[in-house]
A and B are shown apart, each in its own frame.
Chain A
Amino acid sequence: MSDTSFDQFRGSEDYVISLALKNAVNVTIALKRPLLVRGEPGTGKTLLAHSIAQGLDKRIIIWNIKSTTKAQEGLYIYDTVQRLNDSRFGDRDVSDIKQYIKLGKLGQAFVSEEQVVLLIDEIDKADIEFPNDLLNELDEMSFYIPETNETIAARYRPIVIITSNAEKELPDAFLRRCIFHYIDFPDPKLMEEIVRVHFPHIQDNLLREALKAFYALRGVEEFRKKPSTSELIDWIQALTLGGIPPARIASEVPFAGTLLKKEIDYDYFTNRRRGWSRARI
Chain B
Amino acid sequence: MFTDFFYLLKKRKVPVSITEWMVLMESLSRGYITDMDEFYYLARAILVKSEGYYDQYDVAFQEYFKGIETPAEILEQVLEWLQGSPDRTTLTDEERKLMDRMDLDELLREFEKRLKEQKEQHDGGNHWIGRGGTSPFGHSGYHPAGIRVGGDPGGRHAIQIASERRFRNYRSDLTLDVRSMKMALRRLRQLSRTGPEDELDVEETIDATAKNAGEIDFKWRRNRKNTVKVLLVMDVGGSMTPFARLCSQLFSALNASAHFKDFKYFCFHNCVYDNLYRDIEAGDEVGTDYVLRNLELDYKTILVGDARMATEELVERYGAIYYYERNETPGIERLRQISEHFTHAVWLNPEDPYYWHHPTVMMIQRLFPMFELTLEGLDRAVKRLMVKR
Contact = CB atoms under 8 A, between A and B. Distances in A.
Query: Which of B17, B44, B170 is the most central at the interface, judged by chain A CB atoms within 10 Å of its CB?
Result: B44
B23 A33 contact: yes
B318 to A, nearest CB: 37
Interface size class of B (residues with CB under 8 A): 35 or more
Interface string A21-34: 00110110011010
Contacts of A19: 37-38, 41
Contacts of A178: 49
Query: Which of B31, B41, B182 is the most central at the interface, judged by chain A CB atoms within 10 Å of its CB?
Result: B41
Nearest to A184: B166
B51 A1 contact: no
A182 B171 CA distance: 13
Contact of B46 (A27, A168, A184): A27
Interface in A135-184: 166-170, 172, 175-182, 184
Given A23-B41, A23-B45, A166-B179, A180 B32 contact: no
A88 B209 CA distance: 13
Contacts of A20: 41, 44-45
Interface string A1-37: 1110010000000000001100110110011010010
Contacts of A170: 49
A168 B32 contact: no
Contacts of B167: 182, 184
Contacts of A216: none
A65 B193 CA distance: 23
Query: Which of A2, A23, A166, A178 is the most central at the interface, judged by chain B CB atoms within 10 Å of its CB?
Result: A23
Contacts, number: 89
A149 B167 CA distance: 49
A169 B186 contact: yes
Contacts of B27: 27, 30-31
B30 A3 contact: yes
Contacts of B179: 166-167
A172 B15 contact: yes
A79 B209 CA distance: 17
Contacts of A2: 30-31
Interface in B30-60: 30-32, 34, 37-38, 41-42, 44-46, 48-52, 54
Given A33-B23, A224-B252, A1 B45 contact: no
B26 A31 contact: yes
B194 interface: no
Contact of A180 (B26, B31, B49, B214): B49
Contact of B45 (A24, A88, A172, A224): A24
A80 B183 CA distance: 37
Contact of B180 (A88, A167, A182, A224): A167
Nearest to B40: A20
Interface size class of A (residues with CB under 8 A): 20 to 34
A179 B183 CA distance: 22
Given A24-B41, A168-B183, A169-B183, A176 B20 contact: yes
A7 B90 CA distance: 28
B227 interface: no
B128 to A, nearest CB: 25
Nearest to A178: B49
B288 interface: no
Contact of A6 (B15, B30, B214): B30
Interface in B1-30: 15, 17, 19-20, 23, 26-27, 30
A226 interface: no
B386 to A, nearest CB: 15
Contacts of B252: 224
A45 interface: no
A175 B216 CA distance: 44
Nearest to B32: A6
Interface in B185-233: 186, 202, 209, 214, 216
B41 A36 contact: no
B172 interface: yes
A258 B209 CA distance: 56
Contact of B32 (A30, A88, A175, A176): A30
B127 to A, nearest CB: 28
A3 B32 contact: yes
A31 B52 CA distance: 24
Nearest to B18: A176
4 cross-chain pairs, A with B, having the tightest CB-CB distances, nearest first: A182-B51, A175-B49, A24-B45, A20-B41
15 contacts: A1-B34, A2-B30, A19-B38, A20-B44, A20-B45, A84-B209, A167-B50, A167-B52, A167-B183, A172-B15, A176-B49, A181-B45, A182-B50, A182-B51, A182-B167
Interface of A: 1-3, 6, 19-20, 23-24, 26-27, 30-31, 33, 36, 38, 80, 84, 88, 166-170, 172, 175-182, 184, 224
